[in-house]
Amino acid sequence: MARVGVFVCHCGTNIAGTVDVQYVAEEMAGEKGVVISRDYKYMCSDPGQNIIKEYIRLYKLDRVVVASCSPLLHERTFQNTVKAEGMNPYLMEMANIREQCSWVHKDRAEATAKAIELIKMAVAKVRMNEPLFPKRIPIERKALVIGGGISGMQAALDIALVGHPVLLVERGPSIGGRMAQFDKTFPTLDCAACILTPKMVDVRSNPNIRILTYSEVESVKGYVGTFEVKIRKRARSVDMSKCTGCGECMQKCPSKVDSEFDLGLGKRKAIYIPFPQAVPNVPVIDRNHCLFFTKGKCKVCQKVCPAEAINYDQQDEMITEKVGAIVAATGFDLSDPNDYSEYGGGRYKDVINGLQFERMINASGPTEGHLKRPSDGKEPKTIVFIQCVGSRDENLGRPYCSKMCCMYTAKHAILTKEHIPDAQVYVFYIDIRAAGKNYEEFVRRAIEKYGTMYLRGRVSRIFEKNGKLIVRGADTLSRGQVEVEADMVVLATALVARSDSIKVAQMLGIPYDQNRFFTEMHPKLAPMENVTAGIYLTGACQAPKDIPDSVASASGASVKVCALFANEELIADPMTAQINPNLCSLCKTCVDVCPFSAVIEEEVKRPDGRVQKQMRVIDGVCHGCGACAASCRPGAITLMGYTDQQIFSEIESLAASL
Amino acid sequence: MEVKPEVEKKSKDWEPRILAFLCRWCSYAGADLTGSSRISYPPNVRILRVPCSGRVNPLFILKTLRAGMDGVLVSGCHPGDCHYTAGNYNARRKFAVLSRLLEYVGIDPRRVQFSWVSASEGDKFAKVVSELVAGVKALGPNELFRLNPSKQTAQGPQSPRQ
């Protein structure tokens, strides 16, 4: 007979405010198998855990039920508590009476009655629990970093610093990411390239880092410690081992296209590097625009290449690697111009976005750092900046703040004045959010020292009139309509998740939020970790983040990776499936439903010498989803931790309360 | 602190009782989010955590109804989001077959609901539960498996099975 102890937590007033915890504890004392039941203010606190330990000793408990918050939060905590008393951690069950009871119900009597039932279910289950023993799995001490922006580079450098090999996969032809497109950085105004490009060189020259540019991760299999990843290295059409980066090919290439890096403000060739400091400094041929690939003739680049590096026959290469941990650093996109039709929706040439402005004032950008109207190349004298374009907008289903626009707009205002001292700069804003080190001071400087006109209000419309852009908006502080005749308008457009973020999330098996950003394990206590073990998040793939935040989160994720790699071997969840060969009918439905090919058929020799076929689950491959157990007709498969008996027992406990 | 009389008083009006099988990766976490966002829903639902909606054997659903629960919810990750790649598809297929069986044995298939709720859809979980509770309430108590049904329900002949 099981000896169960029930421990009911008040969680301060979080539970006790709605559930009569004392009454619940008293009620549970009479439950079958329950030896002792008590309540306490904070079960997860040190004294709370000590009560559990003491009662295990005192009452010789062999099963424990903790009725408190969600197991997603504290299952590990209480498993460790009972483990400290020598109990198998899988003999502890939690009843979630906070998230799924006290926080969602208001009626005290109803919530109390429900809490009792939830705990009864947990008691019924725990009585059927059996000790489980975690499996040990080896670790491949190599990390995969997806995304070669500032986050991914920092993560790769930090992991490599500890001595672990890192595979850095970047989709574009060069590492560097968004930061490479920036001109200067707030609040120090040091140039982005001056701090970024040396880091790019560090990454390239680090012997522990292998960079795969122009490459994409295509599939991820396996689990923490032993992921198997397949990477498609797209054909560059240039032999990386031969190319010297002289740039002759790019000069002579006759095919010109809009540069993605310059967001359409400048041109590039069909054979190109995105920017002069690219790493690796090896061009790629854009096969969609190359005359040879589209029309079958040209081959100018091949003729001029002194290193004979051009190879039109190059094929995509598939690379398979085993890695122990994965860092997702896939970054962000800018919102679609269709989001702001009232501002022209991309129709007006002189209405640009913040990133285009960065390219324009960047000395190595398409205008060599000169502010010019895209329509006629004239220097703009009146520039209007509009913040929160597409962010904090419920109508677009995008209620969040894009976080860095307040800061980069202040930076743009300052830089505009430095480029064109007699320019008049207006900023339309809703609120100024400058909560960072030296951020508020920076915005004040833009206003006070540089004379930027900050107008609190939204812009309702922009339209063209006599070659000018009329910006019509409200100034809520003076309570009036404002109309500004502008030469150029810069929109601080929303930062959004990558267009293919869901595809990446599904590939990695990680959750994403309603805005398609990746979700961390815990927003406060595990911001770099993920519910899928072995996968870590950094940078703006989680939420809008500026450079300092991205770098900090990258280092944070790296520490988590290194901590994982510091283990001699990993402890894997013992909740896997087992097949009882005596019940198995060899129908092999389990083989069909198993998503991981964990079920195999093998031949065993019986004592009488005959060979018998038998199905077996490979422990290390099974993820414990239970699809096989649910599909097994003779009921030969047991999913440890979620056995049929446990679930039936929970269901029957509900019948008893009828 | 005396609650008992209140509990008894409440139980006199019939309220449907529903068991929800929630996958631990999406829907269980979604239900947690409902809680941390303090979105209320009817207290008629009891939650049973499973690793994946694909773990839900149709037998569990039948057992639940056999135990006298009035409705069942099975909720998993959205299509394509399954932590185990395809468990939710397995669950959906099983569910499609099961609802025909339910009809055959005389249980209104509307008592059993299947839904997709992700870890970020706290509001959706509350909505799914509220709708199911209202739907089952309209169907009345599940008395097919009771020895002495309190009243005749629209579920066809009563079975005297225990």
Three-state SS string across A269-284, please?
A: ECEECCCCCCCCCCCE
Same domain as A609, residue A543: no
pTM across the whole model: 0.81
Q: Which residue of B has its CA nearest to A104?
A: B40
A658 touches chain B (CB under 8 A): yes
Radius of gyration, CA atoms only, chain A: 31
Query: Is A649 contained in some domain?
Result: no
Domain boundary among A287, A315, A343: A315
Query: Is A615 contained in some domain?
Result: yes
Return the higher-pLDDT residue of B44 and A531: B44
Asked if B90 lies within 8 A of A72 by C-beta distance, the reply is no
Query: Is A198 contained in some domain?
Result: yes
pLDDT at B155: 44
B interface mutation test: which of A21, A39, A98, A99 has the most B CBs within 10 A?
A: A99
The 10 Å Cβ neighbour count of residue A385 is: 27
pLDDT at A606: 85
The 10 Å Cβ neighbour count of residue A651 is: 25
Domain extent at residue B113: 14-139
Same domain as A212, residue A93: no
Closest CB to B67: pick one of A23, A532, A651.
Answer: A651
Asked if B32 lies within 8 A of A658 by C-beta distance, the reply is no
Q: Which residues of A touch B9 (CB under 8 A)?
A: 109
pLDDT at A624: 92
Number of domains in chain A: 5
The residue-averaged pLDDT of B79-94 equals 86
B55 touches chain A (CB under 8 A): yes
Residue A307 CB contacts under 8 Å (≥ 6 apart), including other chains: A242, A243, A244, A246
Tally C-beta pairs within 8 A across A and B.
166
Asked if B55 lies within 8 A of A642 by C-beta distance, the reply is yes
Q: Nearest Cα to A177, choosing from A400, A363, A355?
A: A355
Query: Is A646 contained in some domain?
Result: no
Same domain as A344, residue A324: no
Residue B104 has pLDDT above 60, yes or no: yes
A526 touches chain B (CB under 8 A): no
Residue A424: strand pairing partners: A382
A589 touches chain B (CB under 8 A): no
The 10 Å Cβ neighbour count of residue A57 is: 10
A520 touches chain B (CB under 8 A): no
Measured distance CA(A532)–CA(A521) in Å, rounded: 8
Which pair of structure tokens corresponds to residue A638? 């047991």
Same domain as A607, residue A507: no
Query: Is B118 contained in some domain?
Result: yes
pLDDT at A106: 93
Q: Is A26 exposed, middle or buried (0-12, 13-18, 19+ CB in 10 A)?
A: middle
The structure tokens 């990477």 sit at A231
Q: Which residue of B has its CA nearest to A629?
A: B55
Measured distance CA(A224)–CA(A530) in Å, rounded: 11
Low-confidence ranges of chain A (pLDDT < 50): none
What DSSP assignment string belongs to A60-87?
Answer: T-SEEEEEES-HHHHHHHHHHHHHHTT-
Helix (H) or strand (E) holding B21: strand B18-23
Measured distance CA(A575)–CA(A131) in Å, rounded: 11
Query: Is A170 contained in some domain?
Result: yes
What CATH number is attached to the domain comprising A112?
3.40.50
What DSSP assignment string belongs to A30-61?
Answer: TSTTEEEEEEES-TTSHHHHHHHHHHHHHTT-
Same domain as A488, residue A384: yes
Number of domains in chain B: 1
B144 touches chain A (CB under 8 A): no
Asked if A105 lies within 8 A of B28 by C-beta distance, the reply is no
Query: Is B114 contained in some domain?
Result: yes
Same domain as A353, residue A467: yes
Q: Which residues of A touch B18 (CB under 8 A)?
A: none
Distances (CA, A) of A460 to A386, A455, A472, A473: 11, 13, 6, 5
Residue A648 CB contacts under 8 Å (≥ 6 apart), including other chains: B60, B63
Same domain as A44, residue A16: yes
pLDDT at A522: 83
B54 touches chain A (CB under 8 A): yes
What CATH number is attached to the domain comprising B39?
3.40.50.960
A494 contacts A398 by C-beta, under 8 angstroms? yes
Query: Is A655 contained in some domain?
Result: no
A interface mutation test: which of B13, B47, B73 has the most A CBs within 10 A?
A: B47
Query: Is B112 contained in some domain?
Result: yes
- What's the pLDDT tens digit per position in A446-491? 999 999 999 999 999 999 999 999 999 999 999 999 999 999 999 9
Radius of gyration, CA atoms only, chain B: 16
Closest CB to A99: pick one of B31, B52, B80.
Answer: B31
Same domain as A209, residue A251: no
Query: Is A356 contained in some domain?
Result: yes
pLDDT at B79: 86
A597 touches chain B (CB under 8 A): no
Same domain as A446, residue A390: yes
A631 touches chain B (CB under 8 A): yes
Contacts of residues A471-475 at CB distance under 8 Å and 24 or more positions apart, as own/partner, are: A471/A384, A471/A386, A471/A426, A471/A428, A473/A386, A473/A428
CA torsion, points B120, B122, B124, B126, in degrees to nearest 10? 170
Asked if B1 lies within 8 A of A502 by C-beta distance, the reply is no
- What's the pLDDT tens digit per position in A303-350? 999 999 999 999 999 999 999 999 999 999 999 887 888 998 889 999
- A183 DSSP 8-state letter: S
Same domain as A222, residue A85: no
A151 contacts A179 by C-beta, under 8 angstroms? no
Same domain as A473, residue A363: yes
Domain extent at residue A170: 150-226+318-330+501-570
A288 touches chain B (CB under 8 A): no
A627 touches chain B (CB under 8 A): yes
Query: Is A292 contained in some domain?
Result: yes
Domain boundary among A449, A478, A496: A496
Q: Which residues of B touch A117 (CB under 8 A)?
A: 46
Query: Is B1 contained in some domain?
Result: no
Measured distance CA(A631)–CA(B91) in Å, rounded: 10
Measured distance CA(A528)–CA(A537) in Å, rounded: 5
The residue type of A645 is Q
Q: Which residue of A has its CA nearest to B5?
A: A109
List the 497-516 stretch of A: residues with Cβ below 8 A of B: 502, 505-506, 509, 511-514
Domain boundary among A496, A518, A549: A496
Q: Which residue of B has its CA nearest to A109?
A: B7
